[in-house]
Structure formats: structure tokens, C-alpha cells
Amino acid sequence: MFEKKEPYQANSPAIPEILLGANVSVAKTGLLAAIQETISYDANTYMIYTRSNRGGNARPISEFHREEGLSLMQNHGIFDPVVHLSYLVNLASPKEDTWEYGISILSEEIQRVEYLGFRYIVFHPGSHVGQGEEYAITRIAAALNRILSGTEKVTLCLETMAGDGSKVGNSLEQVADIIARVSHQEKLGVCMDTCHNYSFGYDIVNDFEGFLKQFDQVIGLDRLKCAHINDSKTPFGSHKDRHANIGEGSIGLEALRRIVHHPILRNIPQILETPGGKYKSEINLLLNRPLVDAPSALSIPL
């Protein structure tokens, strides 16, 4: 097991640090590929999918080169990677087989991620596909109650959504409502997504503090475990989920920079999911680093 940064805790001896990385590929060599890609971005955290979003059987987790990966991470100062659950899981599905499939895939993913020694699985709460919000919230909570025994080492992070389609978990209240109905709430966290939040109608551009205040009142900031940092191709409140490159969308570079550097996000993995392989320059932009190949200086003070 590698030395992991402690999470955001009052008694944490860890030096608060900006953890910024991207959604990287595990093709062929598993963690080694993901970490090499992360190193190439001068990043210090990352996110992976351990199974294809096109379905099929998952690659055995024993083929992910865990030991070499964890020591490579240690040598390069990479911390707290996150796993994103397959998009094919819909824990709100009214269809019995789809719902059961979701439960088995997430249960299996918990095992896989615990084997890797990572702390977080991010997942989309679900889509009600016509059954309504209340139905979906009950259904997701029932699935989580089936999955969680309370002995898990990982935290399952509900991702806040954009309000597109029939998704739930868009408002902070909906997310809180799901959490409230789960027995082992101590195993649940939240992953904010700047594109989704802004698209849904939280004005994180002009009032990120207000968003955090609401988050704290409705959910509690202690549940904020991960952030997805994306610009948005669509306007404020559009209820669409179209990620744009950093600085090229309706949120803009300055607002995203403010978020990335906010003290509340210190030590919390922040992950880019933007299109088109520009991660290295986007990370440099967000960290105010020179846009040339220069020695890494990840901990930039405010």
C-alpha cells in the first residue's frame, strides 16, 4: 500500500496542496499507462475507468500492474487517484435487469478499487427514464443499501449532474435526499462537476462562495471528496452536459482558476474531463504555470 495523502481534515499533518489531473487511459499497461500519461501532464493526481463504457467483461484488475504503479506514483508525487464507474450503470433504472446489473457492477468495482488501494469511486446517481425524481431517488438509495455493508474502504462519490435527460442528482437537495436514505452514509461522498453545476443553474462564476455555502448547508462540505473541472459549451442554466476546453466555454478561465485554487479544494482530487487531448496546457493554465516545458511547481500559493 502506498503512502496516501490524508483527506481534508483539521488534524491532518499533510501540507495542503492542489491536486490537479485528468481523466487518463489505462490502455494496455493499466496503472502504468495512466501514471505515465499523468507524468506527461506534470499533474499530481488522475482519474481512470477500470472497464470500458461500451460494456463487455472487465479486464482483470490483477493486470493493472498495481505494485509498480503505486511505487511510480510515490516516486512522482502523485496522490489520491479516482475511479469513475462505467456510464452503463443506472441505479435508478425501473428495469429490474438493468438495476441488478448496476448493483453487481458497482459491487464488483468496489472490490477492484480496494485492490488498487484507491479511495474514491465517482458515479452518476442515475436517470429515472420517465418514472420521476422521487422514484429515482428511492431506487438509487435502495441500490446503495443493497451494495454497502459498512465494511468498505472506498468512498462512493455521487456526481452532481447537469439536469440533462432524466438524470437525478442535479440539485444539491436531490443529492442530499439520496444520501439521507442510505444506511451507511459514512461511505458516501460527493463529486462536484463545474460544467454540470453551472449548466444546472449554480452560478459558480459569479458566486462560488454562495455555492459552497449552499453545499455546506444542504449536504455538508465534509462530503466533498472530488471535483471535475470542465468548462461548458452551453450557457448558464442550459441543463446540457457539453464539456468545453478550459477557457473556451461559458465558465471561463478566471472562474475555473479561482475554483481550482480555492482553499476548500486543497488535497481534494480535481480532474479535467475536457475534449481533445489538451490536458497539459490546460493544467498549466489553471495553475498559472508558464506554458513551456519547465520544472514542475505544483504547489502554487494563492
Does 262 participate in catalysis according to the annotation?
A: no
Report the C-alpha gap between 9 and 32 in whole angstroms: 30
Given Zn ion, Fe ion, none, residue 241, with its beta carbon under 5 to 8 Å by kind, binds: Zn ion
SS3 at position 206: coil
Q: CB of 226: closest distance to Zn ion in angstroms?
A: 13
* Interaction between residue 231 and Zn ion (CB under 5 A): no
Given Zn ion, Fe ion, none, residue 228, with its beta carbon under 5 to 8 Å by kind, binds: Fe ion
Nearest to 107 by CA among 92, 128, 137, 85: 85
Chain length of the chain: 302
Amino acid (one-letter) located at 172: L
Binding residues for Fe ion, rule: CB under 5 A, are 159, 193, 228
SS3 at position 160: coil
DSSP letter (8 states) at residue 266: T
Nearest to 49 by CA among 98, 92, 82: 82
Catalytic residue among 112, 124, 128, 139: 124
Q: CB of 167: closest distance to Zn ion in angstroms?
A: 10
Q: CB of 57: closest distance to Fe ion in angstroms?
A: 22
Q: Do the beta carbons of residue 41 and residue 291 sit within 8 Å?
A: no
Does 222 participate in catalysis according to the annotation?
A: no
Q: CB of 71: closest distance to Zn ion in angstroms?
A: 33
User: C-alpha cell of 144?
Assistant: 446503495
Does 54 participate in catalysis according to the annotation?
A: yes
Q: Give the interface segment with Zn ion, choosing from 46-54, 89-97, 121-129, 241-249 (CB under 5 A).
A: 241-249
* Interaction between residue 241 and Zn ion (CB under 5 A): yes
Active site residues: 54, 84, 87, 124, 159, 193, 196, 228, 241, 243, 273
State the residues that interact with Zn ion by CB under 5 A. 241
